[in-house]
Every structure is written in C-alpha cells, then in structure tokens.
Structure 1
Amino acid sequence: MFRQVPVLPVVVPLAAAVLAVLLRSLARRGRLSVPRAAVAVVLCVYAAGVVANTVFPIYLDKPVSSAPWTGSVVVVPWTPYEVADAVMNVLLLVPLGLLVPLLVVRVSWWRAVGVAAVVSLAIEVTQAVTAHLLGGGHVADVHDLVFNVVGGALGSAAFVALSRVPAAPPVVSRFRWHDDAPDPAVVARPEPVRG
C-alpha cells in the first residue's frame, strides 16, 4: 500500500487562504456583507470539496509511471461509461452553475456554462498530470468534462428559474457580488442635435 498526501492539511489551509482573499477583495470594494461573505464561504467549502474528491488521492511513494500519458486519459467520446459516474459528474458542477451568477457582473447562461467548462477542463488536466507524474488515483475522461458542463448548465438554469420568482430579485441582489450592469439595449441614447 502506498502512502498518500493527506487531504485535509492541504485543502483546508488552501480554502482558508482563498476565503481571506475573497473577503478582503469584497471589503476593499465596499461590498462586504453577511450574505456576500456567506457566498464566499460556500464557494470555498465547495471548491475544497471538489479538489479533495477530484485531485486526491496523490501518492507519496508510488513509482512514477513510465506508461504513455494516454493510459490515464480517455479522449474518445461515447465509449462505455457508467450511469452513476455520469450522474455524479452532473451533480458535481450544479452548485457552480448556481454560484457563478452571484459572482459575475453580468448574469449569462453562456458565462456559467463557460466557467463550468473551464473548471472541468482544469480538473481533467490536473487528474491527467497527477495520475502520470504523482501516481494520482483518477483518470481524465472526456465524458466527465461533458457531464460536468451539463451540470453547470443545469445549475445556471435553476438559478434563472429561481430568479424569476417575483420575490427573488431583492433577495438575490443581497448575495450578488456586483450590481447588475445596465443592459446596453435599455440605456437611453442621446437625442440627435437638430439644427
């Protein structure tokens, strides 16, 4: 049995450091409040959980693989894939789809999906690197990427649906880190000068 890098001593200080940076950033912009701090805490706990469950285990004494990188990467879509893995990968990024609209200036379904795709790609690349160089315990899989993006999209769609409840906008605005930017189509254009 190989010795593993302990998870909690890595992810807890990392999450605490990120939380401190986020809270300081909110305070500097005059946006720090209890609801926004709660979003920062949820984001850091969520991110720590994602890292703990997608990057670890990392082994301390497992020999570095001399096998080709392709041994820890699945790039051919629609090969056999477990339904349980698909469901887990969808659920993994649903919270991110809910959080992104609270963090960005302009709420957009495409922005949430884009963030989900970037985060998922970062997870898969990290898994490939740790599997090959550090004896990590995960395989990077294109299916994970696809189902993660579906999860981010579902989370974003849930946010949009919840935001359409008549009482929701004032509550949601207390948790948002930015004021809504004016819609360029709605901004009044100056009248042409006649004369």
Structure 2
Amino acid sequence: MTSATWLPRHRRVTGAILAAYLVALVFVLGWPTPVDAGVNDTLLRALGWLHGHGLPAWVGYDQVEFAANVVLFVPVGLLLALELYRRPWWVAALGGFGLSVLAELAQALTRPDRFATGRDVLANTLGAVVGAAVIGARSRSRSRARPRRPAADAPARDYGPR
C-alpha cells in the first residue's frame, strides 16, 4: 500500500506545502551572506522615518530582525502541526526548535558571513510555537464544539435502568 493510498488528501497537500516551504527555508537560511544585506540601508532609513512618525525609539534593527525570524517560522509550526495532527501541538513546536538548532549549527559550520545565535533559535522557536499553538487551539475548540454522536446505522444501546 502506498502512502498516497492511506494518507488523507489534505495531509498529502499539507506535506507537499511543508516540503516546499522547507526547501525555501533551506535557501534562505543557507544563503552565503546575511539575507538582509541588500536592504539594510533601506530598512534603517525606513526605521528612521517611522521613528519620526511615532514609532517608539526602542524599536530598532534588532527588534525587526527578531520579529522577522518569528514570522519566518510561524508557517513551520502551522504546517508541522497539521502534518502531525494526531499528536499534541507542542510536538510540532519541538520540531521547529530542532529545525532552528540545525539551521543555526549549519550556518555556524558552513557560512562564515552568517551569524548563528541563540537569539535566532529563540525567535524561530517562538514562531513555531505560535504556528503550532494556533492549530492546537483550533483543533481543541472544534473537538469541544462537536458532540459525539453514534453512527446512524449503529444499534441503540440499552444501558439499563438509571
């Protein structure tokens, strides 16, 4: 029996999207130079403009980079949680953590122009947790909202006098 036979269609689609996202993630995380190198000046100018228009001064490049890493891993948590739908949501979050650690380790060992940091692992893991928790919360609310009913063709059970 092939996996296409026993996997529900939505899991095949989710798996394909997850695989495509992971391939894109490998390119982003494995890029030889910092991904924002070409837009760094533009980002700093935009932050300066935003500071002049009310953005708090404490929001700087480091906060934007942290937020970008969080956002980058939200789909990882979402897709892993969908793919592992019979497991607790935190298993998907743990998978995002593992992926982040591997990515940062690979950067440290193979990309001298990149910066592998624990802060990136924290941000990536936070993104995976957010994505996985969204799926976990949704599946919990759906299971609570839907009362279990016996199948239409199932015989009625007699539980005796009460």
Taking structure 2 as the reference length, the TM-score comes to 0.63
**What corresponds to 2:123 in structure 1?**
147
Q: Pick one of 4, 10, 21 that aligns with 1:35.
A: 10
Residue 100 in structure 1 maps to residue 80 in structure 2:
yes
**What corresponds to 2:96 in structure 1?**
116
Distance change (3 Å), C-alpha of 1:81 and 1:115: farther
Structure 1 position 34, deviation (Å): 3.2
Which consecutive aligned stretches of 4+ in structure 1 deviate over 4 angstroms post-superposition? none
1:57 alignment partner AA: P
Q: 2:141 & 2:63 partners in 1: Cα distance? A: 33
Distance change (3 Å), C-alpha of 1:154 and 1:32: same
Distance change (3 Å), C-alpha of 1:32 and 1:151: same
Structure 1 position 107, deviation (Å): 2.1
**What corresponds to 1:90 in structure 2?**
70
Checking the alignment, whether the CA contact within 8 Å between 2:32 and 2:111 is kept in structure 1 is no
Residue 26 in structure 1 maps to residue 16 in structure 2:
no
Residue 159 in structure 1 maps to residue 139 in structure 2:
no
Structure 1 position 150, deviation (Å): 0.6
Per-residue Cα deviation, 1:39-84 (whole angstroms, up to 9, x for no partner): 12201110011111110137xxxxxxxxxxxxxxxxxxxxx97111
Distance change (3 Å), C-alpha of 1:87 and 1:127: same
1:125 alignment partner AA: L
Residue 52 in structure 1 maps to residue 27 in structure 2:
yes
**What corresponds to 2:114 in structure 1?**
138
Of Structure 1 and Structure 2, the greater helix share is in 2
1:40 alignment partner AA: G
Q: 2:142 & 2:62 partners in 1: Cα distance? A: 40
The equivalences for 1:172-183 within 5 A come to none
Over the aligned positions, Cα root-mean-square deviation in angstroms equals 2.9
Q: 2:2 & 2:20 partners in 1: Cα distance? A: 18
Structure 2 unaligned regions, length at least 5: 34-59, 147-162
Structure 1 position 32, deviation (Å): 3.6
Name which one, 1 or 2, has greater alpha-carbon Rg. Answer: 2
